[in-house]
Amino acid sequence: MLKLLIADDERIIRETISKIIDWKKYDIEVIGLCKNGIEAYDMILDESPDIVLTDIRMPGMSGLDLIREVHQTDIPIQFIILSGYGEFEYAKEAMHYGVKQYLLKPCNETQILECVLECKKDHDRMMRERTMLQKQFTLYDGMLHNVISSVINDCLNEKQSLDEIVLHYEQYVDFHTTGYHLFYVYYLEFDSLPEFLQQLKVYVEKEMSQVIFYGIYVKNTFLLFLQNSSGFCENIHNFLKNVHLSGQKVSLEIQDTNYPSLKILLSDNTDRIMRFPMIYYINHFHVTAICNYDRVIFQIQQLYQRLRGGDSEKSDQVAEILRGIDNIDFLKQLVSSLFLKMSSNSQMLSPVGLAEWLTQMENEENLDSLKDMVVNKFMELSSIRETEASISPMISQIYSYVDTHLEDSSLTLKQIAENYLFMNVDYVSKKFYKETGQKFSQYLTAMRIARAKQLIAQNPEEPVKNIAEQVGCGNNPQYFSQLFKKQTGITPTDYIASLGH
């Protein structure tokens, strides 16, 4: 239920507005009647109403002053200005602060209700957008943490150069062109790490909730880094300088430096941390050890290389190793790294789908359920890679053509065969089925739905009709919805709504 606050220095007006309309019928609650802007401001701070209907001229603090003050806070409020005929210039100034609705005195019940319901509609839209953006941020944040921790783990445990390692992950993270800022927190004792992370978490959630932080801890040193583009580095430095830890025996020392790219940052620091026997990665302020289980990591890496070479029999051995891991944090870390590599450059895997799955994995706290989850997913990914490893250059060309022409509603295998491959369509059709195990129409549908889900995740407010056009179903949005439901079990509209939960 939305909260409505009414402010007017004339008691008859504020009381009439509160009673003339059955607000509960519209899922709105009148939480207060204020006789001036000061009362209204205090109630706003205490109650955080969603809609404020205020007179423009009031003693003490005017409606315009009230709007100015609230504009400086983070409280999302829809204002409605109530003004007299000669006060329109005040109302115009209020528009500069984002006020969209105003009522001219005298006004009737219908006009008041229309204004409030319009604000309610704007509020609902903003809440949906905020929820969608938070969902997208959570997916993106989770994916990036999985990538960075996997890269670090590979640097510590593989006999490859950093240049070779990042090739597996470049489709997920910009390693080369985005600048990063790194903070060194020296003399941070391990026993003080939980308290330090809790203070950092509170600060981040309050001051920069949409900024992604990465952290690594080795003996008495914490490395905290983030993209330069966030613009919060000076504030973070000041925060770190003023951190007080109850059990810390010595004062923290803070140093920081800029790096032109993430790859240079990693290159400059991985060698330094490799000499420590225990290294911890900080994922969403949770500490995960990533440098133990050397034997298991080595086995998985060896078997993975055999899998890449086409030895599908090694899948069962990998599954057996995964089921034998009893440390839930280590299992999540290892699986993140493995699956990100397995999905790299795959024609049949969506980064959005993988991000969704990795988020589900991170939220799973039952070890047995997690083992079932990761083994099933591993066998699925192994099956896909086995199929892709056996395809001919002709099928690869079909994959590439479909990827770049997916928005073409007339796309068919016949069109590709005759106009792109210059081959007989019957031969191409049989060859496609033999190598992929599915008909071209099934593959095309799967690609369209995967692209649609990716587009929806990028912009949940995009009309379904536009999504349909971008995946080759623009001439029949209804068919697209039916196709989407058949593939996913839910309609596009329900899928959009699910991103907000």
CATH no. for residue 72? 3.40.50.2300
pTM given for the model: 0.50
Q: Are 403 and 451 in contact (CB under 8 A)?
A: no
Query: What pLDDT is stored for residue 158 in this prediction?
Result: 60
Q: Report CA dihedral (208, 209, 215, 219) to the nearest 10 degrees.
A: 80
Query: What pLDDT is stored for residue 4 in this prediction?
Result: 95
Q: Are 58 and 37 in contact (CB under 8 A)?
A: yes
Q: Are 56 and 64 in contact (CB under 8 A)?
A: yes
What is the bridge-based pairing of β-strands 28-34 and 51-55? unpaired
**What sections of 346-424 are H helices per DSSP?**
351-363, 367-389, 393-404, 413-416
Q: Is residue 72 part of a domain?
A: yes
What is the bridge-based pairing of β-strands 51-55 and 78-83? parallel
Tally of CB atoms within 10 A around 209 = 9
Q: Is residue 186 part of a domain?
A: yes
Tell whether 188 and 283 lie within a shared domain: yes
Range of the structural domain that residue 183 is part of: 174-289
Tell whether 269 and 319 lie within a shared domain: no
Residues 6+ apart with CB under 8 A from 341: 150, 168, 304
Tell whether 415 and 358 lie within a shared domain: no
8-state DSSP, 288: E
Query: What pLDDT is stored for residue 501 in this prediction?
Result: 44
Q: Are 224 and 241 in contact (CB under 8 A)?
A: no
In angstroms, how far is CA 320 from the centroid of its own chain? 32
Tell whether 347 and 400 lie within a shared domain: no
Tell whether 60 and 90 lie within a shared domain: yes
Tally of CB atoms within 10 A around 131 = 15
Give the CATH number of the domain where residue 444 resides. 1.10.10.60
Query: What pLDDT is stored for residue 188 in this prediction?
Result: 95
Q: Is residue 153 part of a domain?
A: no
Query: What pLDDT is stored for residue 260 in this prediction?
Result: 93
Half-sphere exposure of residue 303, counting CA atoms within 13 Å on the CB side? 20
Query: What pLDDT is stored for residue 157 in this prediction?
Result: 64
Q: Is residue 225 part of a domain?
A: yes
| Residue closest to 181 by CA, chosen among 204, 203, 214 | 214
Beta bridge partners of 34: 7
Point out the domain boundary residue: 58, 80, 107: 107
Per-block mean pLDDT, blocks of 10 residues, the chain (501 long): 92 92 93 92 89 88 86 83 72 74 86 92 80 67 84 74 87 86 94 94 86 89 86 86 90 94 91 75 82 64 70 76 81 82 61 77 90 85 62 81 87 86 84 85 88 83 87 80 86 79 44
Point out the domain boundary residue: 107, 135, 165: 107
The structure tokens listed for 496 are 């959009």
d(CA 411, CA 395): 16
Q: Is residue 163 part of a domain?
A: no
Number of structural domains in the chain: 4
Q: Are 270 and 156 in contact (CB under 8 A)?
A: yes
Query: What pLDDT is stored for residue 49 in this prediction?
Result: 92
d(CA 431, CA 434): 5
Tell whether 284 and 189 lie within a shared domain: yes
Give the CATH number of the domain where residue 274 resides. 3.30.70
d(CA 327, CA 102): 60
Backbone angles phi, psi at 460, to 5 degrees: -65, -20
d(CA 403, CA 90): 55
What is the bridge-based pairing of β-strands 180-186 and 101-104? unpaired
Tell whether 365 and 415 lie within a shared domain: no
Tell whether 446 and 472 lie within a shared domain: yes
Q: Is residue 162 part of a domain?
A: no
Tell whether 383 and 455 lie within a shared domain: no
d(CA 295, CA 23): 66
Q: Is residue 418 part of a domain?
A: yes
Tell whether 377 and 402 lie within a shared domain: no
Where b means 16+ CB within 10 Å and e means fewer, 383-413 reads: ebbebbeebeebbeebbebbeeebeeeebeb
Tell whether 435 and 461 lie within a shared domain: yes
d(CA 300, CA 319): 10
Point out the domain boundary residue: 373, 389, 405: 389
What secondary structure does DSSP assign to 146-190, as a single string?
Answer: HHHHHHHHHHHH-SS-HHHHHTTTTTTS--SSS-EEEEEEET--G
Q: Is residue 236 part of a domain?
A: yes
Tell whether 99 and 200 lie within a shared domain: no
Helix H or strand E segment including 425: helix 425-436
